[in-house]
Homo-oligomer: A and B are copies of this chain.
């Protein structure tokens, strides 16, 4: 998609909406008081109810199948259909909701197909997560964290050859808005000989792009890099909450476990590849001296268009700010172009040994920090390992998160000739430990 797209919707709130104009149309699962959870599409300040529209017979052909699959309590069946039906649904939705649509009067009369997003609707996890995998492709984060442990040699020798990832916990992936309880765990205090047990004192967030897997592969088969993006259903924001003190003590030799498995939050809307198409970029050239990826990770089209220009923002709302009615404060502004590996490379790598991916599997990108402190995607980095508190308005400081703190992620894309599109928010408030 190279031509400008300035179409408007007959739904007035969509035009100029910072997240959900006609050009976005992300999918999610919502419920209303007394209703069952079902699929919907965000448009301006409204949710377009796919079940009501599908039941009314508004879709035809592949889009009809797609709308039916997206009408249930999770989008897994819709994800399983792949890119063709998803695109067909998008085209019919855009035609239906565009200014001048022949459907406008019918939809306005129906009324109940359009629900006010902020008032009536509870947003849920869009899919049942089969397996959750967290990658580590944010090279500045890997550098920043590595430097805390190994000042002279922050990146391990495999980093520029392998899209490093590990398996996370699927059962505790939750939708934005769910509260996050501070975990108890074992930690080794500085200088102590034996660990102690109690609430984590170094609770942190990690700013990540989430990737929802669509069509999967059979066990034993690999997904070729050229086909890899066809296996992605869409994108979201992901907060990989982390207990740094638990992590430091437990993670050798098999990786993070309790430090991460108490909660992972995602934004509820699935932003599609189609909506993000105008915001693709060439994968940044590797610095001189960096190795070429192995052939199974190389694809010319992926090099030319594999990156995304998505702005990523972290905000913090403390109990004191909430009390004074203050707005949340920005802690960082980063961008998905800080990924050293593309999404296609992640998918190809994950499946190259025959691991089965399934519709509803979730990937995290790893923390997407930029090179400068104002783009660091975790407090571990922003406070240089907890040594240098960050200053907040009103004289507050933070090294790590305190009870009652709310972390808010936002993301959006901007480009001349297109309306801005956004991901919506990924929020979570910290509850005190039990």
Contacts and interface: CB of A to CB of B under 8 A. Distances in A.
A221 interface: yes
Interface in A351-368: 352-358, 361
Contact of A167 (B161, B169, B434): B169
Nearest to A185: B353
A55 to B, nearest CB: 29
A131 B357 CA distance: 14
Contacts of A222: 184, 434
Given A170-B131, A171-B131, A174-B219, A258 B352 contact: yes
A87 to B, nearest CB: 26
Interface in A61-106: none
A3 interface: no
Number of copies: 2
B434 A353 contact: no
SS of A interface (majority)? loop
A158 interface: yes
Contact of A254 (B131, B136, B431, B434): B136
A254 B222 CA distance: 23
A243 interface: yes
A293 to B, nearest CB: 10
Nearest to A167: B167
A224 to B, nearest CB: 12
A195 interface: yes
A145 to B, nearest CB: 9
A10 interface: no
B165 A353 contact: no
A146 B252 CA distance: 11
Nearest to A179: B220
B171 A130 contact: yes
A384 interface: no
Given A131-B171, A258-B349, 14 more contacts: A158-B250, A164-B257, A166-B257, A167-B168, A172-B354, A172-B355, A184-B352, A184-B354, A185-B353, A219-B263, A243-B353, A246-B353, A255-B256, A262-B355
